[in-house]
Structure 1
């Protein structure tokens, strides 16, 4: 069983590998029962959104995480990857600012990573 923080780091690395833009990890511990972390990023095309999603799924499974669900791949505008303690939001560039999840969860602490 991979720890939530390690899983979040794995997700961030997978997103970076596929050149995801503006990767943000929010620590929701003590704020939400939904998950410990949200990872939010975007791609510049439908193809890139799907590539980011597939890489995240592959890397998470390699680390022993269970993918509980993936929604939104048909339109590739906002794909949600549910990894239990970590929920990943992969947006298409055009949708990212519109939904502004970072603002909705503004009381969450932004995780700093090198």
Structure 2
């Protein structure tokens, strides 16, 4: 079980990520609480960028912010292509998609509780 300090750090990281995504004009930002569902992370965030260039730019800015503010170097996959970029910050995993790619993979549906759309938070 995670300590209160770990949870507070995870929540602070999530808040900073959501703020950065908003500032970088990411669209359709969804956060998913993974507590009790998996041990890979505490939260997952899924969002969209309008183009491959914007997807890559959002990922780059987010990685820089996390490194600067939290002294963590996130792992990034897919930035060179820009269709789907995964940013693993440790406690929060962020997926940035082009809208067409996001629609195809529908990651949000994988993490919904019992198929209830209300389980995913916008």
Same fold (TM over 0.5): yes
TM-score by length of structure 2 reads 0.84
**Partners in 2 of 1:19 and 1:64 — Cα distance?**
22
- State the number of aligned residues: 112
| Larger Rg over CA atoms | 2
Structure with higher strand content? 1
Give structure 1 regions of 4+ aligned residues with deviation exceeding 3 angstroms.
108-112
Structure with higher helix content: 2
CA-based RMSD of the aligned residues comes to 1.8
Residue by residue over 1:50-80, the C-alpha shift from the partner in whole angstroms, topping out at 9 and shown as x without a partner, is 1111121121112224134100011111100
TM-score w.r.t. length of structure 1: 0.89
Tell me how far apart the structure 2 counterparts of residues 26 and 110 of structure 1 sit (CA, whole Å): 6
**Alignment partners' CA distance in 2, 1:59 and 1:35:** 19
Which runs of 5 or more structure 2 residues have no equivalent in the other structure? Answer: 1-5
**Pair 1:53 & 2:63 matched:** no
Match in the other structure for 1:83: 89
